[in-house]
C-alpha cells in the first residue's frame, strides 16, 4: 500500500483493507465488492461514486457490519486501531451511531413511521449514554435546529410522514450526528430529492462538518454532487475500485476510461454545442456481477480497450499513475497522454 | 381521529340496518312462526288469528319497522321454543360466549405474537419449521373434529391411561356444580373449549404474524435502527414488532366474525349455554324470533369490534390518523 | 382513508377472514393481506417461458408435489369406490353390530354393521365433489366479478364492496346454516349456497389485485397506446392474475370441504341417505369416551389429510407463481 494519499500524512481514521463481499445466489456467487481498499482521513470528505450496483452501498454497509447474514465478507476494516469485522456484535453496536454514523437515502422508508421524529433522534442519544430528560429534550431541539429545521419544538412531536422530503433527510442527518461521530457515512443522501433541496441538504452536511470536524464518506452516483463537496473521490465500477484521487485530479486529470466516460456524459451548460453534437454516453450495460467479464471488468464498454491483450486477460491493479492518484487501467498513461 | 371514527359509525349504521332487514325477511321467509299451529290443529281461523297477533298479515316492511321499533326499545319478543323473553335469553347466553371469546383472543394473540416473532427472527430454524408445520395442520383441522378428539384424547382416555379420579380437563359447561368464579375448576373447564375455538385462529394468526414480522424486518427503518447502535432485542421489539402488529390488528378484528361462528360448534360440543348453543337450538327448532334477534345482536358485536380495531389501528399507525 | 389504505385493509380483512374459522382457510390471508401492496404474482408482460419457469419452481416444492399424489390417490379411491370398496354402499350387518377395526373391516363398523372403510370412500365422493364444485363455481364467478369491479372501478367497485360488506358482519356458518334451511339440503343446494358465500371472498381478493395491477406502468403504457379495455384485460390483467386465482381456487377447495363438513356435522348440511365425511362424524359424535370412539378417527383423518394436501398444493402454487413472496 502506498503511503499518504493526496491530502497530508497522519493516521487514517478509517482504513478499509482488501474488502470483498460476495452473496450466494441461485445462479452462482455474486461479487458485490471485490478487493476494495481505501482510507478516510480525519475531517476529510471522501466521495464514492458509481452507478447502481457498483458496490458502493454494500461497501459502506460492510464497514458497519450491517450486511445480511448470507453475505460473505473478507478483508479488514480498521477503525481506531481495531478491526471492526472482528468485533462482537455488542461492541459494534457501541460504535454504530456513536463513533461512526450513517445517513440513508429515502428518509421516508428509513425512519420508523410509528415513532415521533423527536423520539427517534432521542433514541440515538440514549442508546449510547445516560442523559437526563430535560438535557435530552434540549439536545434533540438543538440538533433539529442545527440541521435547519424550523419550529423544532413542534416538529419534534411530529411523525415522519408529516415532514417534507428535504426535512426528513435533514432529520436523518440530525439523528446521525447526535453523538458527534468521527465518521459520517452518507449513502445517497440527495438522490431522492430535487435539485434545490439537494443543495440545501449538502449545505447542511458541510456546515455540520465545519462544526464537528467529522469525516464524511459521501456515496452518490452524481458527479455534480461530489464535485462541490468532496476532497477526494473514489470511483467504483462492477464492485471494484477503478480510480482514487483528489477531486481536482479526478475531474481535470482523470486516468480511467470509465471516469472519463462519466465526465464526458455530463451535460455541459458552459460550452457551446453544435446541432450535430449528441450527448455522450458510455455504450453497453454494466456487467452481471455473477458472470463477470474476463480481465478488466470495463473492457466490453471501453473505447480504448485492447482486445486480445491485457485488457481481456488480467484484472488491472489499482496503481499510482500520478502522485497521489491511482487508477486501475493497464494503459492509463498511454490513453490519457 | 374522532372524525374518522364518526364517519365509520355513520357508514356502518346503514349496513347493520340493511343487513338486519334482509335477515328479518329471510328468517321470516324460512320459518313460519305459525308452523306449529298448522301442523297441530290446522284450523285456518286459529292460524289466521295467530297470524294477526304476530302481525304477519301486514306487509314485510311494516313488519320490519315494527320489529325494529320494538327491538331498539329492548322488546325482542318471546322465544317460540321456550316461551322465554328473548332479551333475557340472549343476555344470559352472551355472558358465556363473551368469556370464551375473551380468553380465545387473549390466548390466540399471545401465542401468535410469540410464535410469529420467534419464527421471523429465527427464520428457517428447526423450531420455525415445526411451528410452520403445526400451523398447516392447525389450518387443516376441522375445529369440531379437534374438539371431539381433544375430549377423547385429553380428557377421557387419560383417566384410563393414568388411572385418575377424574379427567384433567372437563368438557361440560364452564363450571362444575356450584363452583363459580375464577378458579382452577374454571380453567379446567375453559381449556378444551377455548382451544377448540381457537386452534385454527392461532394457526392462521401465527403464520400471518410471521409473515408480517418478516416483512417489517426487511424495512429500511430497521436498518437505520441498527445503524444507530440500537441493541438487537430492542430493534426487534421496539421497532420491528411495534410495526408488525399493525396488520395483525386488522386480521384480529375480522376474525371476530369467525369466532362468533366458531362458538356455534364449540358450545354445542362442550355443552356451554352460550350464543352458539342458542343459535343451534333455535335453528333446529325453527325459532324465528330468537334467530332474528341473535343475528342482529351478533352483527352489532362484530361491527363494534371492527370499530374498536379501527381505533386500535389508528393508535398504532400514526399515518392513518390524519384523514 | 387513502384508497390504498382502504384496499390494503379491506383485503387483509378479507384475507384474515378467510384465514380461519373453519370456513375458508387462509393461505389467502397470508397472501392477500401482507403481499397485496406488491400486486399480484408475475410482473410484466407474459413470456412463453413463464410456464417452464413456473414448473421448475413448483417442482422444487417436494411437499406440494407429494400432495398432488395424495390428492390423486384420494380422488381415485373415492370416486372409484363402487369398484374398490370392499362392501356395498348400503350393506348392513345388524347381527354384527359395531366392531373395532379388524381384518375383515379395516376401519371397523358402526352400530348398523356398516363397513366404515366403504362408507368412508362413498362419503368421500360427496365431500370431494362438493368441495371441488364449490371452488370452481365460486372462483369463476368471484374472479369475473372481482376483475370487472376492479377494472372499471367507481360504481361497480363500490357496489361490490358494499354488497359484500353486508355478508361480513354475520358469521358465515350462521348465514350458511340459515340459507340451507331455506333452500333445502340437497347436494345441489349445498353447492350453490356455499358457492354463494365463497365467491365474495375471491371477488374481493381479485378486485384488489386488479386494482393494484391497474396502476402498473405497463398497463398505463398499453392504455396510452390505445389498447381497448378488452385487450388490456385479456393480454395484461388476466395472465398476471391467473396464478393467484388458481391459488385461490385451490384453497377454496379446502375451505369448502371444511365448511361442508362443519355444516353436516351440525346437522345443517348433507342429509341422509346421503353421507359425507362431516355427516359420518356427526353420527359418530355421540361415541366420544366410549369404546366406539374409533368411528371418529377415520372420517376426521380423511378430512385432515385431504385439506392438508390441498393447502400444501396451494402453498406450492403460490410460491411457484410469485417467488418474491419469499416465505415458507
Residue ranges of chain C with per-residue pLDDT less than 70: 1-49, 233-234, 323-328
> In the predicted model, what is the mean pLDDT of residues B66-94?
86
Put simply, whether B122 touches A (Cβ < 8 Å) is: no
Rounded Cα–Cα distance for residues C81 and B228 (Å): 66
Q: State whether residue A68 is helix, strand or coil.
A: coil
Chain centroid to CA A106: 15
Taking alpha carbons only, the member of B17, C158, B92 closest to residue B9 is B17
Find the CB nearest A114 among B231, B242, B322.
B242
Q: State whether residue A27 is helix, strand or coil.
A: coil
Rounded Cα–Cα distance for residues A297 and A291 (Å): 10
B residues 224..253 contacting A (CB < 8 A): 224-232, 234, 239, 242-243, 246
| Of B180 and A166, the one with more pLDDT | A166
Are the beta carbons of A230 and A217 closer than 8 angstroms?
no
**A115 contacts in chain B (CB < 8 Å):** 239, 242
**A110 contacts in chain B (CB < 8 Å):** 220-221, 223-224
Q: Which residue of B has its CA nearest to A91?
A: B229
Task: Extract long-range pairs of A76-84: CB within 8 Å, 24+ residues apart.
Answer: A76/A15, A76/A16, A76/A17, A76/A18, A76/A19, A77/A14, A77/A15, A77/A16, A77/A17, A77/A19, A78/A12, A78/A14, A78/A15, A78/A16, A78/A17, A79/A13, A79/A14, A79/A15, A79/A183
Q: Which residue of A has its CA nearest to B320?
A: A161
Rounded Cα–Cα distance for residues A175 and A166 (Å): 14
Put simply, whether B319 touches A (Cβ < 8 Å) is: yes
What is the share, in percent, of chain B residues with pLDDT greater than 90? 47
Give the contacts of A325 (CB within 8 A, at least 6 positions apart): A6, A244, A245, A246, A249, A253, A255
- Residue A292, min C-alpha distance to chain B (Å): 28
Asked if the Cβ–Cβ distance from B230 to A93 is below 8 Å, we say yes
- Residue B226, min C-alpha distance to chain C (Å): 23
Give the pLDDT of residue B133. Answer: 92
Q: Which residue of B has its CA nearest to A94?
A: B229
Give the pLDDT of residue B63. Answer: 82
Subunits in contact with chain A (3 or more CB pairs closer than 8 Å): B
Asked if the Cβ–Cβ distance from B230 to A109 is below 8 Å, we say no
Rounded Cα–Cα distance for residues B165 and B207 (Å): 39
Give the contacts of A125 (CB within 8 A, at least 6 positions apart): A131, A136, A139, A140, A178, A179
Asked if the Cβ–Cβ distance from A110 to B224 is below 8 Å, we say yes
CB pairs under 8 A between A and B: 77
Rounded Cα–Cα distance for residues C74 and C313 (Å): 14
Give the pLDDT of residue C20. Answer: 30
Asked if the Cβ–Cβ distance from B284 to C267 is below 8 Å, we say yes
**C166 contacts in chain B (CB < 8 Å):** 15, 18-19, 22
pLDDT digits (tens, 9 = 90+) for B37-54: 666 666 777 777 777 776
Give the pLDDT of residue A130. Answer: 93
Helix, strand, coil abundance in chain A, percent, nearest 5: 35, 25, 45
Give the pLDDT of residue A179. Answer: 94
Taking alpha carbons only, the member of C294, C270, C309, C293 closest to residue C117 is C294
- Residue B255, min C-alpha distance to chain C (Å): 5
Q: Is 70 exceeded by the pLDDT of residue B29?
A: yes
Rounded Cα–Cα distance for residues C236 and B30 (Å): 45
Give the contacts of A102 (CB within 8 A, at least 6 positions apart): A60, A64, A66, A96, A176, A184, A185, A186, A187, B224, B227
Rounded Cα–Cα distance for residues C6 and B312 (Å): 15
**C278 contacts in chain B (CB < 8 Å):** 142
Give the pLDDT of residue C34. Answer: 31
Q: Is 60 exceeded by the pLDDT of residue B260?
A: yes
Q: Is 70 exceeded by the pLDDT of residue B135?
A: yes
Asked if the Cβ–Cβ distance from C289 to B156 is below 8 Å, we say yes
Find the CB nearest B204 among C29, C178, C262.
C29
**B265 contacts in chain C (CB < 8 Å):** 22, 173, 262, 265-266
pLDDT digits (tens, 9 = 90+) for C132-162: 999 999 999 999 898 888 888 788 888 888 8
Q: State whether residue A148 is helix, strand or coil.
A: coil
Rounded Cα–Cα distance for residues B86 and B287 (Å): 11
Beta bridge pairs of residue A30 = A23
**A95 contacts in chain B (CB < 8 Å):** 229
**B231 contacts in chain A (CB < 8 Å):** 90, 93, 127
Helices B275-285 and B86-121, packing angle to 10 deg: 130
Rounded Cα–Cα distance for residues B42 and C188 (Å): 32
Give the contacts of B276 (CB within 8 A, at least 6 positions apart): B97, B260, B262, B263, B264, B265, B266, B267, B268
Find the CB nearest B257 among C15, C17, C308.
C17
- Residue B101, min C-alpha distance to chain C (Å): 13
Asked if the Cβ–Cβ distance from A101 to B220 is below 8 Å, we say no
Find the CB nearest B227 among A64, A90, A106.
A64
Asked if the Cβ–Cβ distance from B223 to A66 is below 8 Å, we say yes
Peptide bond into B96 cis (omega under 30): no
Helices B184-217 and B86-121, packing angle to 10 deg: 50
Give the pLDDT of residue B182. Answer: 80
Rounded Cα–Cα distance for residues C295 and C297 (Å): 6
The DSSP 8-state label assigned to residue A49 in this structure reads E
Beta bridge pairs of residue A142 = none
**A97 contacts in chain B (CB < 8 Å):** 227-230
Chain centroid to CA C4: 27
pLDDT digits (tens, 9 = 90+) for A157-214: 999 999 998 899 999 999 999 999 999 999 998 887 888 888 888 889 989 898 889 9
Taking alpha carbons only, the member of A13, A49, A16 closest to residue A242 is A49
Are the beta carbons of C102 and C294 closer than 8 angstroms?
no
**Residue from B123, B228, B313 to probe the interface with A (highest A Cβ count within 10 Å):** B228
Give the pLDDT of residue A11. Answer: 87
Instruction: Tell me which of B106-120, B300-314, C144-158, C229-243 is least confident.
Output: C229-243
Put simply, whether A172 touches B (Cβ < 8 Å) is: yes
Give the contacts of A53 (CB within 8 A, at least 6 positions apart): A238, A286, A289
Beta bridge pairs of residue A20 = A74
Taking alpha carbons only, the member of C287, C261, C302, C234 closest to residue C25 is C261
Q: State whether residue A332 is helix, strand or coil.
A: helix
Residue ranges of chain A with per-residue pLDDT less than 70: 1-9, 276, 337
| C41: number of Cβ within 10 Å | 26
**C268 contacts in chain B (CB < 8 Å):** 283
Give the pLDDT of residue B181. Answer: 76
Burial pattern C7-17, b for ≥16 Cβ within 10 A else e, equals bbbbbbbbbbb
Q: Where are the domains of chain A?
A: 249-269+276-337
**A64 contacts in chain B (CB < 8 Å):** 227
Find the CB nearest B251 among C16, C23, C315.
C16
- Residue A102, min C-alpha distance to chain B (Å): 6
> Cα dihedral angle (C66, C71, C73, C76), rounded to 10 degrees?
-150
Are the beta carbons of C41 and C240 closer than 8 angstroms?
yes
Element counts in chain C: helices (H) and strands (E): 15, 0
Rounded Cα–Cα distance for residues A288 and A162 (Å): 40
Subunits in contact with chain C (3 or more CB pairs closer than 8 Å): B
Task: Extract long-range pairs of A61-65: CB within 8 Å, 24+ residues apart.
Answer: A62/A19, A62/A21, A62/A33, A63/A14, A63/A16, A63/A100, A63/A185, A64/A92, A64/A95, A64/A96, A64/A100, A64/A102, A64/A185, A64/B227, A65/A89, A65/A92, A65/A96
pTM for the full predicted model: 0.85
Find the CB nearest C170 among B203, B286, B299.
B299
Kindly provide the residue ranges of all beta strands, DSSP E only, lying in A158-229, ordered along the sequence: 183-187, 215-220
Q: Pairing mode, if any, of strands A100-103 and A183-187?
A: parallel
| Radius of gyration (C-alpha) of chain B in whole angstroms | 24
Amino acid at each position: 500500500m502506498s503511503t499518504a494519499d493526496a491530502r497530508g500524512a497522519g493516521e487514517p481514521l478509517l482504513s478499509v483493507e482488501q474488502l470483498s463481499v460476495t452473496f450466494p445466489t441461485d445462479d452462482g456467487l455474486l461479487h458485490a465488492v471485490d478487493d476494495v481498499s481505501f482510507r478516510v482521513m480525519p475531517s476529510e470528505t471522501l466521495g464514492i461514486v458509481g452507478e447502481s450496483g457498483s458496490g458502493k452501498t454494500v461497501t459502506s454497509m460492510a464497514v458497519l457490519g450491517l450486511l445480511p447474514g448470507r453475505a460473505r465478507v473478507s478483508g479488514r476494516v480498521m477503525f481506531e486501531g481495531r478491526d471492526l469485522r472482528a468485533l462482537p456484535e455488542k461492541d459494534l453496536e457501541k460504535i454504530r451511531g456513536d463513533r461512526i454514523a450513517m445517513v440513508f437515502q429515502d428518509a421516508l422508508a428509513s425512519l420508523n413511521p410509528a415513532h415521533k421524529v423527536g423520539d427517534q433522534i432521542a433514541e440515538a442519544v440514549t442508546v449510547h449514554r445516560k442523559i437526563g430528560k430535560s438535557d435530552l429534550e434540549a439536545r434533540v431541539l438543538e440538533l433539529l435546529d442545527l440541521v435547519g429545521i424550523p419550529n423544532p419544538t413542534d416538529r419534534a412531536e411530529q411523525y415522519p410522514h408529516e415532514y417534507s422530503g428535504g426535512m426528513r433527510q435533514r432529520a436523518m442527518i440530525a439523528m446521525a450526528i447526535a453523538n458527534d461521530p468521527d465518521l459520517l457515512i452518507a449513502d445517497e443522501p440527495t438522490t431522492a430529492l430535487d435539485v434545490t433541496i439537494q443543495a440545501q441538504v449538502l449545505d447542511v452536511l458541510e456546515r455540520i462538518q465545519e462544526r464537528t470536524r467529522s469525516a464524511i464518506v459521501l456515496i452518490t452516483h452524481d458527479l455534480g454532487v461530489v464535485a462541490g463537496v468532496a476532497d477526494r473521490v473514489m470511483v467504483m465500477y462492477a464492485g471494484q475500485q477503478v480510480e482514487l484521487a483528489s477531486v481536482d485530479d479526478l475531474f481535470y486529470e482523470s486516468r480511467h476510461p470509465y471516469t472519463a466516460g462519466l465526465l464526458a456524459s455530463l451535460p455541459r451548460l458552459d460550452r457551446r454545442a453544435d446541432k450535430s453534437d449528441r450527448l455522450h454516453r458510455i455504450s453497453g450495460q454494466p456487467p452481471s456481477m455473477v458472470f463477470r467479464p474476463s480481465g478488466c471488468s470495463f473492457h466490453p464498454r471501453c473505447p480504448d480497450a485492447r482486445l486480445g491483450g491485457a485488457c481481456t486477460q488480467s484484472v488491472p491493479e489499482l496503481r499510482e499513475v500520478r502522485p497521489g492518484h491511482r487508477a486501475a487501467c493497464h494503459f492509463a498513461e498511454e490513453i490519457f497522454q | 381521529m374522532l372524525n374518522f371514527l364518526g364517519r365509520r359509525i355513520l357508514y356502518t349504521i346503514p349496513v347493520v340496518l340493511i343487513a338486519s332487514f334482509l335477515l328479518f325477511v329471510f328468517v321470516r321467509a324460512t320459518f313460519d312462526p305459525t308452523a306449529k299451529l298448522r301442523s297441530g290443529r290446522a284450523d285456518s281461523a286459529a292460524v289466521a288469528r295467530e297470524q294477526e297477533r304476530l302481525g304477519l298479515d301486514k306487509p314485510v316492511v311494516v313488519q320490519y319497522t315494527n320489529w325494529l321499533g320494538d327491538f331498539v326499545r329492548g322488546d325482542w319478543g318471546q322465544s317460540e321454543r321456550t316461551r322465554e323473553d328473548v332479551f333475557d335469553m340472549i343476555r344470559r347466553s352472551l355472558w358465556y360466549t363473551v368469556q370464551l371469546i375473551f380468553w380465545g383472543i387473549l390466548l390466540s394473540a399471545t401465542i401468535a405474537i410469540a410464535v410469529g416473532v420467534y419464527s421471523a427472527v429465527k427464520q428457517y430454524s428447526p423450531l420455525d419449521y415445526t411451528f410452520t408445520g403445526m400451523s398447516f395442520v392447525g389450518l387443516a383441522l376441522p375445529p369440531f373434529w379437534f374438539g371431539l378428539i381433544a375430549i377423547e384424547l385429553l380428557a377421557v382416555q387419560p383417566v384410563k391411561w393414568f388411572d385418575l379420579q377424574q379427567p384433567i380437563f372437563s368438557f361440560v359447561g364452564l363450571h362444575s356444580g356450584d363452583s363459580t368464579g375464577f378458579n382452577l375448576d374454571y380453567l379446567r373447564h375453559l381449556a378444551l373449549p377455548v382451544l377448540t375455538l381457537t386452534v385454527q385462529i392461532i394457526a392462521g394468526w401465527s403464520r400471518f404474524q410471521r409473515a408480517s414480522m418478516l416483512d417489517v424486518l426487511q424495512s429500511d427503518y430497521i436498518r437505520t435502527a441498527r445503524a444507530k447502535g440500537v441493541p438487537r432485542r430492542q430493534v426487534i421489539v421496539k421497532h420491528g414488532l411495534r410495526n408488525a402488529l399493525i396488520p395483525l390488528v386488522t386480521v384480529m378484528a375480522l376474525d371476530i366474525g369467525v369466532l362468533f361462528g366458531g362458538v356455534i360448534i364449540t358450545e354445542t360440543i362442550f355443552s356451554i349455554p352460550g350464543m352458539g348453543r342458542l343459535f343451534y337450538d333455535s335453528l333446529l327448532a325453527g325459532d324465528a324470533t330468537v334467530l332474528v334477534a341473535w343475528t342482529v345482536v351478533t352483527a352489532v358485536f362484530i361491527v363494534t369490534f371492527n370499530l374498536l380495531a379501527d381505533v386500535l389501528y389508528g393508535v398504532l399507525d400514526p399515518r392513518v390518523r390524519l384523514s | 382513508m387513502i384508497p390504498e389504505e382502504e384496499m390494503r385493509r379491506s383485503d387483509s380483512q378479507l384475507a384474515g377472514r378467510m384465514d380461519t374459522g373453519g370456513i375458508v382457510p387462509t393461505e389467502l390471508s397470508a397472501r392477500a393481506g401482507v403481499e397485496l401492496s406488491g400486486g399480484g404474482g408475475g410482473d410484466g408482460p407474459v413470456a412463453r417461458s413463464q410456464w417452464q419457469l413456473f414448473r421448475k419452481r413448483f417442482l422444487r416444492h417436494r411437499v406440494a408435489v407429494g400432495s398432488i399424489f395424495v390428492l390423486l390417490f384420494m380422488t381415485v379411491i373415492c370416486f372409484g369406490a363402487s369398484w374398490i370398496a370392499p362392501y356395498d354402499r348400503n350393506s348392513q350387518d345388524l347381527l354384527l353390530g359395531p366392531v373395532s377395526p379388524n381384518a375383515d373391516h379395516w376401519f371397523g363398523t358402526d352400530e348398523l354393521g356398516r363397513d366404515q372403510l366403504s362408507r368412508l370412500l362413498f362419503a368421500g365422493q360427496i365431500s370431494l365433489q362438493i368441495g371441488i364444485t364449490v371452488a370452481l363455481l365460486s372462483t369463476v364467478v368471484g374472479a369475473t366479478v372481482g376483475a370487472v369491479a376492479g377494472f372499471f372501478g367507481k360504481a361497480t367497485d363500490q357496489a361490490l364492496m358494499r354488497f359484500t360488506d353486508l355478508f361480513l358482519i354475520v358469521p358465515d356458518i350462521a348465514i350458511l346454516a340459515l340459507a340451507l334451511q331455506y333452500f333445502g339440503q340437497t347436494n345441489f343446494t349445498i353447492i350453490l349456497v356455499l358457492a354463494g358465500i365463497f365467491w365474495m371472498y375471491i371477488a374481493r381478493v381479485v378486485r384488489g389485485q386488479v386494482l393494484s395491477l391497474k396502476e402498473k406502468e405497463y398497463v398505463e403504457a398499453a392504455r396510452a397506446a390505445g389498447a381497448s379495455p378488452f385487450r388490456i384485460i385479456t393480454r395484461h390483467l388476466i395472465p398476471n392474475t391467473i396464478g393467484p386465482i388458481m391459488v385461490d381456487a385451490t384453497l377454496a377447495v379446502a375451505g369448502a370441504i371444511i365448511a361442508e363438513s362443519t355444516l353436516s356435522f351440525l346437522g345443517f348440511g348433507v342429509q341422509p341417505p346421503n353421507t359425507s365425511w362431516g355427516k359420518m362424524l356427526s353420527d359418530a359424535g355421540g361415541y366420544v369416551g366410549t369404546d366406539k370412539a374409533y368411528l371418529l378417527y377415520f372420517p376426521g383423518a380423511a378430512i385432515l389429510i385431504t385439506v392438508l394436501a390441498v393447502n400444501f398444493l396451494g402453498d406450492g402454487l403460490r410460491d411457484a407463481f410469485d417467488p418474491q413472496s419469499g416465505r415458507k
